[in-house]
Amino acid sequence: MIDLYGPLLAKALFPAFEAARGRPTVGLLRSLRETERWTPGALRDLQVGLLRRLLRHAYRHTAFYRQVLDERNLSPEDFTAIEDLARLPLLERPIVRASIDARTARVPPLPVITKTTSGSSGEPVTVRYNAESRHWRDAIRWRGYGWGGYRIGMRALHYWGMAPPPASWWKRKKVEVDRLVKRDLYVDSTPRGDDALAGAVAQIRKFRPQVIVAYANGAGALARYVNDRGVRDWDAIPVLTGAERLLPHDRTAIEQAFGPAFDTYGCREVMLIGSECEVHDGMHTSMENLIVELVVREPDGAVRAARPGESGEVVVTDLHNLACPMIRYVTGDLAVARGDARCACGRGLVRIGPIEGRVTETLVDAQGRAVSGLVFNIVLAIVGDVARAFQVVQRLDRSIVLKVVLFRGDSLPERETRILREHAERYLPGVPLAIEVVPEIPLTAAGKLRPVVVERPA
């Protein structure tokens, strides 16, 4: 069957819709397809110019960065190379939370979006950013997804975690219409029992997606269901994975069940950080939008850049967020450095990978059905204004203990308690849930907070 709506959406409706809202997405995307072919050196020159612009604005209009630079006797003009970023401190999560007002500029461009991260690290963070940053994020996403075969106008099935619907009827309808027009179908990837997986297969057959965007672990579980039962009856569908590391055995299962798998890496604070291209050899970083550093902390406290082949902590600087700058933000993830060797695809964007963090454990409901360990991450983004850290623990008897560290007080408010209990009952029916307010959550020996702990028999 000839698809007439897809090309119409891509070439006319989407550009007109973005232009009507004053969004330069199409123009930025066209530019990005040119700059991705630049040399790493030329791209770094671009980054340095954008970095100085960011630092000038941050120094003049935010109390936080004025103090940071003054304490080090630095000015924005002192930054003439990416390596000069090492002269600034790392922006750790506790500082991000404590400094949000001091980092917010009091002159335009002002924040137009405020969001709380889903808390995949166990410590939700609130971020603010301006319209320019939002436009770059959108264009970067479309470019990175395009490398995996996802183009504007395609029917896209999103096998993703589902946040609670908006309370407003009008907002719910707006979301429904937006998804219908853009040909997006969202299927909840959190339930992993046979009934839920069979339902997802039925949706694939009915919707006939041209691309699938999915949680990596969820796509792997669905793929194994398809392969074990031999129910594939569709042509190749590219699968773009994210939110969790794409493990080799999941990639193999996905490619057997659906088609080529393309891993992506990002976080809600800055969105898409890196994407696989058709060569599948690491992830190209979003250099026009972000500076991505991989750093190693030495025993003496010194911080240095990771060497090629070495694992380091992912540190990002958002080059277009002038409203509430995030400079050298520590994401909490680990990735392998690769150096400047050019990819066989010809793109000059520096690569990283594999990503070595964010592998979540799987919970089970009362019937023993598997449920993604990310089940609470989404809803905790809603309560992020009262809770600064959390940990989900599933006991041997399958009961769940949700440990929460509050910003203030010693009890979780009634509204947030109700939301969490309703969410648990929806995705883990029959599993007892206890909510414990604790002063702190112990870290692992490596200094990490494990957001999901599943107790195993000795």
Q: What is the mean pLDDT of the segment spanning 319-338?
A: 95
Q: Look at residues 217, 237, 259 and tell me which one is the last residue of a structural domain.
A: 259
Q: What percent of the chain has pLDDT above 90?
A: 70
Do residues 350 and 441 share a domain? Answer: no
- Using only C-alpha atoms, the chain has a radius of gyration, in whole angstroms, of 22
Higher pLDDT, 396 or 446: 396
Q: What is the pLDDT of residues 357-382, one digit of tens each?
A: 654 567 888 988 888 777 777 776 66
Contacts with 398 (C-beta within 8 Å, 6 or more apart), sequence order? 364, 365, 366, 431
CATH of the domain at 124: 3.40.50.12780
Question: Tell me: the pLDDT tens digits for 152-176?
Answer: 999 999 999 877 777 888 988 999 9
Residues 344 and 374 in one domain: no
For residue 161, count other CB atoms closer than 10 A to its CB.
21
Question: For the domain that residue 160 is a member of, what is the CATH number?
Answer: 3.40.50.980
- Same domain for 290 and 249: no
The two structure tokens encoding residue 71: 């304490």
| Domain with 345 in it | 17-136+267-355
Q: Which residue, of 300, 334, 355, is where some domain finishes?
A: 355
Tens-digit pLDDT profile for residues 128-154: 999 999 999 999 999 999 999 999 999
d(CA 186, CA 167): 18
Q: Residue 430 is part of a domain; what is its CATH number?
A: 3.30.300.30
For 379, the token pair is 């809803």
Amino acid at 116: T
Q: Are 274 and 252 in contact (CB under 8 A)?
A: no
Q: Is there a domain that residue 1 lies in? A: no
Statement to judge: residues 323 and 178 lie in one domain: no
Across the range 312-319, mean pLDDT stands at 96
State whether 21 and 126 are in the same domain: yes
Would you say how long the chain is, in residues?
458
As a whole number of angstroms, the distance between CA 251 and CA 185 comes to 22
pLDDT tens-digit series, residues 388-440? 778 899 999 999 999 998 888 889 999 889 988 998 998 899 999 999 999 98
- Specify whether 281 is located in the same domain as 230: no
Residues 255 and 162 in one domain: yes
Q: Model confidence over 281-304: pLDDT tens digits? A: 999 999 999 999 999 999 898 999
Q: In the 8-state DSSP scheme, what is residue 329?
A: E
Residue 129 shares a structural domain with residue 274 = yes
Q: For the residues 97-101, what does the mean pLDDT come to?
A: 95
74: buried, middle or exposed (CB in 10 Å: 19+, 13-18, 0-12)?
A: middle
How far is the C-alpha of 289 from the C-alpha of 310, rounded, in Å?
Answer: 24
Name which of 20-29, 307-316, 361-370 the model is least confident about. Answer: 361-370
> Does 191 score more than 90 pLDDT?
no
- Whole-angstrom distance, CA of residue 355 vs CA of residue 248: 12
The total number of structural domains in the chain stands at 3
Q: Is the pLDDT of residue 446 over 60?
A: no
How many helices (DSSP H) and strands (DSSP E) are in the chain? 14, 20
Percentages (nearest 5) of helix, strand, coil residues in the chain: 35, 25, 40
